[in-house]
Structure 1
């Protein structure tokens, strides 16, 4: 099973690299504003997870500057995901709100919908 996952993971990453979307072109001032806003976001993910790939493609398509955190190979990120979100499930978007609260958003469809509606 591990061999199949490894091979499929490499195929998914290869296809993602070949068919990578181009990002949105924005006014530099607007892009700077969006970059400052998205600096409060972190995406906990596994590199070859197909749902994580979908979210990363949305991030790239929307030209968003969101920190990617590897929860599979980085024990610090994995522990933070478990402590904050309550479970090790990816993708998970961490949103540090203005009021100091942290929101943990699971499910790739919810994350993509959130990003696409906030940054059209």
Structure 2
């Protein structure tokens, strides 16, 4: 029974994955326009952020869309196919769960923020008014 359930969900991901990625490309939001100096400042702040994600995860797509809307150049790390990223997420973040935003402060300590709603709230609070 377990085999059939796994096979069903694997097939479902194979069928729906490309559809979800196409929808993401077609519904590309318009990015926030900032002055070049202000955008450079935002890009510098984004250097301390990394998004651990799966390509076809609907919650990851939601976060990526918000990143585009806010014109944020945040590094994306594939935790689905890259074993090192998956291990880092589990070892340092505590859970292999996506999306996850790694926030590194000036002292080098990291905070791991899970849940798409929390990540979007953090990004909006930090960058929407900048």
Do Structure 1 and Structure 2 share a fold, with TM-score over 0.5?
Answer: yes
For residues 81 and 100 of structure 1, the distance between their equivalents in structure 2, rounded to whole angstroms, comes to 17
Question: Secondary structure at 2:32's aligned position in 1?
Answer: coil
- Give ranges in structure 1 of 5+ residues lacking alignment: none
* Structure 1 runs of 4+ with >4 Å offset: none
Q: Give RMSD over aligned pairs.
A: 0.7
1:61 alignment partner in structure 2: 69
Please give the residue correspondences for 1:73-92 in structure 2 after superposition, counting only pairs within 5 Å: 73-92=81-100
TM-score for both structures, normalised by structure 2 = 0.90
**1:99 shift after superposition:** 2.2
Larger radius of gyration: 2
1:2 alignment partner in structure 2: 10
Please give the residue correspondences for 1:100-115 in structure 2 after superposition, counting only pairs within 5 Å: 100-115=108-123
TM-score for both structures, normalised by structure 1 = 0.97
2:21 alignment partner in structure 1: 13
1:41 aligns with 2:56: no
